[in-house]
Structure 1
């Protein structure tokens, strides 16, 4: 009986020791070091992707553009989106190692689309202004142009910007060109882009439009018989650049590097010469 009792006691003791060992192991499983700090608490969270990494991870650069503003961004006879800005953007995306994805948007909704992060950048002849620089970041300028005052060929009343007072000028509402018109006393007639402004002008529904001089030259080259003329121009050239939301420093730098490389190896001049017959970066 004594041996039996001792055996039972020994078994119970071993079971108790084993149970205590299991409890200690379970308690220690979620703790490390003195003080029992949880191991997961010491792990560093994964670093958030910067703007360039995010674009590369997606495999595409989403680009806001009009598609109605020749020769910068428009559809050719086959319906394909093309133009100076489009080709520049495509080459930039290529050098970033991603595909250019164009999201066509009316000019007056362009910045709202960028604010809503519908696209990563705008390539659409956006002029760099102090007002815009408060909210947005820009690449290095990739084109310089002058605004011109365009009227119908038989117009004898408007010879300069000062003659716009009381006249109807076709302009995009949020364009800096529209501000030039209002500063000279014009009545603004809202248009979606250059082509519509020219249509209204040639049909006599507006008196004038202030628009890009390069667009005017391209139109006259494509349609030499169009009954319009340029009568005045702004002295200072407007610098246009790709536009980004603030905080995308890595992406902006990568785009600048791509633009610089395109100028160094002659790719930029090739695109520029195709549309304008000149280097429009100067």
Structure 2
């Protein structure tokens, strides 16, 4: 009887070990990392409307800091990067359905975190105003902006709209659909203020003489940018995190950033 019990216990242990090995193998085999390598392509979701991170050119090509970074990631994997154009309103849904990674100045939020994983952050950023230079002293604080006679303009679907609707409840708020030409609306006198990421305001004041970033070194709130990767896929997340860690540590990211910002 004791021998039978011993044999039964041993059999159960063997089955458990085999099951554990099979399970571990299944997890590894199911990683997006293996899919990308087998497919030979990295599917990259990006909006293409957010300089300096991602911009969709008239010739149908994408460019920017995060496009160069996506190309670097694809090269490290030995695959090509295939881009999927999306919008801020549809970013998370399109990423889950169509892509392996999402890039392009994506801010980390808890709402997005419910459906995706994020890599380690690569930029610390935050919301700050951009205005006509003559008005810079008028719009230093949320209170100064949140007045009925202030025309606040914002692009739809992302963290800019969420911030504006939360904090500018008294201002005259309008949603403008094109995040590329939205800054021209301020220059033309059709709007007074846009509050967006400090990194974007620094670039846009260079591209649009007459516009000034307001205290970009002291934004209204804390924010970070990272890349979206599939929720639950630790193997793929770890690979992308390690690649990003090396890019940040070796100066590769800084060189790419300087190329677009300086």
Q: TM-score, normalised by structure 2?
A: 0.78
Q: What residue is the counterpart of 1:17 in the other structure? A: none
CA RMSD of aligned residues (A): 2.5
Picking from 223, 227, 230, the partner of 2:210 is 227
DSSP-derived class of the 2:195 partner: strand
Q: By how many angstroms is 1:184 displaced?
A: 3.1
CA distance in 2, matches of 1:78, 1:105: 17
Unaligned runs of 5+ in 1: 1-43, 278-282
CA distance in 1, matches of 2:70, 2:177: 22
Compared CA separation, residues 206 and 220, structure 1 to 2 (3 A): closer
DSSP-derived class of the 1:205 partner: coil
Q: Is the 8 A contact 2:205 2:212 kept in 1?
A: no
Q: What residue is the counterpart of 2:109 in the other structure? A: 129
Q: Is the 8 A contact 2:50 2:105 kept in 1?
A: no
Q: By how many angstroms is 1:163 displaced?
A: 2.0
DSSP-derived class of the 1:107 partner: coil
Picking from 233, 242, 251, the partner of 1:266 is 251
Q: TM-score, normalised by structure 1?
A: 0.73
- Cα displacement string for residues 163-189 of structure 1 (whole angstroms, at most 9, x for unaligned residues): 222333222333222232221324432
CA distance in 2, matches of 1:134, 1:89: 23
Compared CA separation, residues 263 and 159, structure 1 to 2 (3 A): closer
Q: What residue is the counterpart of 1:73 in the other structure? A: 54
Unaligned runs of 5+ in 2: 1-21
Number of aligned positions between the proteins: 231
Aligned: 1:179 with 2:162: yes
Q: Is the 8 A contact 1:171 1:193 kept in 2?
A: no
Compared CA separation, residues 237 and 87, structure 1 to 2 (3 A): farther
Compared CA separation, residues 172 and 244, structure 1 to 2 (3 A): farther
CA distance in 2, matches of 1:75, 1:133: 26
CA distance in 1, matches of 2:92, 2:110: 15
Task: Please say which of residues 179-188 and 94-103 is displaced more in the overlay.
Answer: 179-188
Q: What residue is the counterpart of 2:240 in the other structure? A: 255
Aligned: 1:83 with 2:64: yes
CA distance in 1, matches of 2:178, 2:59: 20
Compared CA separation, residues 270 and 239, structure 1 to 2 (3 A): same
Q: Is the 8 A contact 2:89 2:157 kept in 1?
A: yes
Q: Is the 8 A contact 1:122 1:243 kept in 2?
A: yes
- Cα displacement string for residues 182-221 of structure 1 (whole angstroms, at most 9, x for unaligned residues): 2132443223454232022222222211112222222333
Q: What residue is the counterpart of 2:181 in the other structure? A: 196
Aligned: 1:169 with 2:149: no
Q: Is the 8 A contact 1:170 1:208 kept in 2?
A: yes
Q: By how many angstroms is 1:53 displaced?
A: 0.5
Q: By how many angstroms is 1:152 displaced?
A: 2.1
